[in-house]
Amino acid sequence: MALAAINPTGQAALTAGTVSSNVAIPTTGTPTQVLVQNLGSRAAFVLLGSSNADVVTVADGTPILPCPNPGVVLTLGANTFIAAITADGSTPLRVTAGT
């Protein structure tokens, strides 16, 4: 499956574990989408949100499969944070914002 084209404007790292964690999406260049790549070996689940306090995810979020899966492109809308979780263990995610 081919990914949608994205013009990168910023990048962030997020480690998904068994407790929901989140990171701000880089705002440089006024991004409209985000590419989320799973660099580890466990599936992760993500959810976009508009503030640090309200973005918490559970294992029914958007699945981000591990490598060699190319990742998932999500439309940002008004969202400025992304949260991630795993069912067990942890896995590193790369979050690339862009247009």
pTM of the model: 0.92
What are the DSSP E strand ranges found in 17-87?
21-24, 33-38, 44-49, 62-64, 72-75, 81-85
Q: What's the pLDDT score for residue 49?
A: 92
Domain boundaries, the chain: 15-98
Q: How many CA atoms lie within 13 A of 12 on its CB side?
A: 20
Q: What's the pLDDT score for residue 54?
A: 65
φ/ψ of 5, rounded to 5, equals: -65, 140
Distance CA 70, CA 20 (A): 23
Distance CA 99, CA 97 (A): 7
Q: What is the mean pLDDT of each run of 10 residues along the chain (99 residues)?
A: 82 96 94 97 94 74 93 95 95 97
